[in-house]
Amino acid sequence: MKFPDSIRSGLLLLAFIGAAAHASDWKLANGSRLGFEGSQQGETFTGEFKQFVADLQFDPAALAQAKFDVRIQMASVDSANSERDDAMRSGDWFNVTQFPQAHFRASQFRDLGAGNYSAEASLSLRGRTVAMVFPFRWQVDASGAHLHAKVKLDRLAFGVGAGEWEDEDLIGHQVTVSVDLNLLPIR
């Protein structure tokens, strides 16, 4: 039996949405971004890490098996200011020569309702690991899945910008990390 093109397209879309809703392994798609916001002498600045890889296993129906594993190339920092970027790569800040990667891991997920979740997570940066709660929003549509999160971190907990840079009037201690991931199911 031959179906009209509109019905066939609709069936394919439903099959994709169904597969995406139950897929547990996800890969990064174009447009994924790992950004941050900080302050320098009272002025807000933004930036992002241009290179990171993510191994995400997530299915809202199987939270016990879910896990996130993300590795960030610290030298890929870009705040649209080459002087600041060079400083962030230096030994006083990210020390990318000794610590080229940051490592984020999440497990023990909880459903908070309405597409919102949280996980017990840890971030390893500059040889220090800090535990945190990672709240995020998860949405699935015909183009794949989308993960959105914002987390506030204290840079001094990781030894980032210590010593003469500890003065909060010079460089703010709090950094807001923004995670916007576009994801495709791995088949």
Residue 61, domain CATH: 2.40.128.110
Q: Reply yes or no on whether the pLDDT at 13 is more than 50.
A: no
Q: What distance in Å separates the CA atoms of residue 46 and residue 108, rounded to the nearest whole number?
A: 30
**7-11, 32-36, 150-154: the lowest-pLDDT one:** 7-11
User: What are the tens digits of pLDDT across the range 145-161?
Assistant: 999 999 999 999 999 98
Q: How far apart are CA 68 and CA 56, in angstroms?
A: 5
Number of domains the chain is built from:
1
The band of 171, judged by pLDDT with boundaries at 50, 70 and 90, is confident
What's the mean pLDDT in 57-61? 96
Among candidates 142, 145, 137, which has minimal Cα distance to 183? 145
Taking CA atoms, 85 is separated from 3, 48, 104, 176, in Å, by 57, 10, 21, 17
CA distance 129 to 95: 15
Q: Is 74 left (phi over 0), alpha (psi -120 to 50) or beta?
A: alpha
- The range of the structural domain enclosing residue 126 comes to 5-185
Q: Considering the chain, what percentage of its residues have pLDDT values greater than 90?
A: 78
Write the Ramachandran bin of 9: left for phi over 0, alpha for psi from -120 to 50, otherwise beta: alpha
Helix locations, the chain, DSSP H: 5-22, 82-89
pLDDT in tens, 81-137: 999 999 999 999 999 999 999 999 999 999 999 999 999 999 999 999 999 999 999
* pLDDT at position 5: 52
Q: CB atoms < 10 A from the CB of 147, how many?
A: 20
Length of the chain: 187
Give strand ranges (E) for the chain: 25-28, 33-40, 43-49, 52-57, 67-73, 77-78, 101-113, 116-125, 128-141, 144-154, 174-185
Confidence of residue 2 (pLDDT cuts 50, 70, 90): low
